[in-house]
Amino acid sequence: MASRVYQLLDTLDLTEGQSVRINCPDCNDDNSSLGLKVENGTYVWNCFRVSCNSSGASFQGMTAPEIRKAFNKNKDDRSWQDDTCHELDLMDVPSYVVSNKGDNKLLNGFISYWGLEGVDIRYDVRDKRAVFPIYEGSRLIDAVGRALDGSIPKWFKYTGGAKVYMTSPAKPNGVAVIVEDVISANTICSMCPNVTGVAILGTTMSVKHMEYLEDFTRIIVALDRDASVKTLTYKREIASWLGIDTIAMLLQDDIKYKKPDDKELLTALCG
């Protein structure tokens, strides 16, 4: 059963960073047991009654002033981009994450299926995952693993330090295409080598993601088809704050499936 909290969200007048305690509509509690807050444009709630399982999250978007305020605060705190200040920690690569020697049938099948030949991919021998390293400059700071045997979770971040996975096999032309996962980011680059594929590693975009986008000249938001509403929301938010030419690309299917119509449209937009 869907949470009754969803019906209350439009009636709440909360801004970014605010929180409130209210009566829980799911368990009919009248002691303000439901905690609800707004973080990065997302309403997050949880009922503190032991007998109630009400919890969830719903992306509502952020207004331009909210984005501007959070963005400026993050820029002030962004000391890792200054070589004289603290940087993101290097990833301590586990011993069970090994180089791809080309003799692993499971990994090779995955690479062949998605057309990832030439992409920097390692292998997690313990959990049977394809591992995509994430760099900040030349420094390895994180990695994202994709389960190859149906294990849960399907996607796994090894340190959680990275906010995005960015790739461009050729000289970047100033165009960034925002997608959800690393396979899609590499698919973008196989279609348009000069474009930068930017995976936000999920379907929730925060202000921190925008710090990685401010130097591009054009941004195309191309989330999976089932996230079309968020595609339009992110397009408006990016354009309203960064002032960059931003396009919402509504896909026929997830970009990694390389539908001819999607490829044709992407090529035209990135040209």
Specify the number of domains making up the chain. 3
The whole-number average pLDDT for the span 211-217 is 91
User: Of 109, 128, 160, which closes a domain?
Assistant: 160
Q: Are residues 14 and 55 in the same domain?
A: yes
Q: Based on the domain organization, do 75 and 174 belong to the same domain?
A: yes
Q: Position of tokens 């030949």?
A: 117
Shortest CA distance to 216 belongs to which of 263, 262, 166, 261? 166
| Strand 218-221 versus strand 245-248 pairing type | parallel
Please indicate, yes or no, whether residues 79 and 172 belong to a single structural domain of this protein: yes
- For residues 52 and 31, membership in a common domain is answered with yes
What is d(CA 104, CA 127) in angstroms, rounded to the nearest whole number? 14
Q: What pLDDT digit, counting tens, does each position of 197-212 carry?
A: 999 987 677 777 888 9
Q: For the segment 37-55, what is each residue's pLDDT rounded down to a tens digit? A: 887 677 888 887 767 878 7
pLDDT at 98: 94
Residue 11 one-letter amino acid: T
Q: Which two tokens stand for residue 108?
A: 């090779």
Note whether 137 and 183 are same-domain residues.
no
Percent of the chain with pLDDT over 70: 86
Nearest-10 crossing angle of helices 260-270, 182-191: 70
pLDDT at 69: 62
One domain, residues 127 and 219: no
Full residue range of the structural domain in which residue 117 is found:
91-160
My answer on whether 198 and 233 are in the same domain is: yes
The whole-number pLDDT of residue 86 equals 40
3-state DSSP assignment of residue 38 = strand
Q: How high is the pLDDT of residue 64? A: 59
Q: What is the C-alpha separation between 46 and 49, in angstroms, rounded?
A: 9
DSSP secondary structure letters along 58-109? EE----HHHHHHHHHHHHHH-GGGSTTS--PPPP---TTEEE--S--HHHHH
Q: Are residues 179 and 263 in the same domain?
A: yes
C-alpha of 136 from chain center: 16
The Cα 48–Cα 171 span in angstroms is 52
The CA R_g of the chain, rounded to the nearest whole Å, is: 20
Same-domain status, 24 and 153? no
Per-residue model confidence as pLDDT tens digits over 101-144: 888 999 999 999 999 999 999 999 999 999 999 998 888 999 99
- Kindly report the number of other CB atoms within 10 A of residue 40's CB atom: 18
Please indicate, yes or no, whether residues 166 and 80 belong to a single structural domain of this protein.
Answer: yes
Looking at 133, 160, 187, the residue that finishes a domain is 160
Are residues 34 and 98 part of one domain? Answer: no
Which of the listed residues 132, 160, 188 is the one where a domain comes to its end? 160
CATH of the domain at 227: 3.40.1360
Q: Is the same domain home to 22 and 135?
A: no
**Residue bearing the bigger pLDDT, 56 or 174:** 174
